[in-house]
Amino acid sequence: MEISEIQRVKQQFGIIGNDLELMRAIDIAIQVAHTDLTVLITGESGVGKEFFPQIIHTNSVRKHNKYFAVNCGAIPEGTIDSELFGHVKGAFTDAISERKGYFSEADGGTIFLDEVGELPLSTQARLLRVLENGEYIRVGSSKVEKTNVRIVCATNVNLPEAVSNGRFREDLYYRLSTVPINVPPLCKRGEDVVLLFKKFVMDFSTRYNVPKVQLDESAKRAIMEYSWPGNIRQLKNVAEQISILELNREVNAETMKRYLPEQPKTNLPTLFGSNGGGGKSFESEREILYSVLFDLRRDVTELRRQVKELMAGHSVSGDNVSLYEAHPIPVVQHTVQPTIHIATPVNDLSHTVVDSSEYVEEAMTLDDMERKAIIQALERHHGKRRDAARELEISERTLYRKIKEYGIE
- Please give the full DSSP string across 21-40, using - where no structure is assigned: HHHHHHHHHHHHTTS---EE
H or E element, residue 233: helix 231-245
Please tell me the predicted confidence (pLDDT) of residue 55: 97
Please tell me the predicted confidence (pLDDT) of residue 20: 95
Please tell me the predicted confidence (pLDDT) of residue 93: 75
- Average pLDDT across each block of 10 residues of the chain; the chain has 409 residues. List them in order: 83 94 96 95 94 96 95 90 89 80 94 95 95 93 93 94 94 94 95 96 94 94 95 95 92 93 56 42 47 63 74 52 41 41 41 41 61 85 82 80 82
Q: Decide: 117 and 177 in contact? Cβ < 8 Å.
A: no
Q: Decide: 409 and 378 in contact? Cβ < 8 Å.
A: no
- On the CB side of 385, CA atoms within 13 Å amount to 14
- Shortest CA distance to 239 belongs to which of 265, 279, 208? 208
Domains and CATH numbers, the chain: 3-184 (3.40.50.300), 187-257 (1.10.8.60), 285-406 (no CATH)
Please tell me the predicted confidence (pLDDT) of residue 160: 94
| CA atoms of 71 and 316, how far apart (whole Å) | 69
Please tell me the predicted confidence (pLDDT) of residue 136: 94
Please tell me the predicted confidence (pLDDT) of residue 264: 56
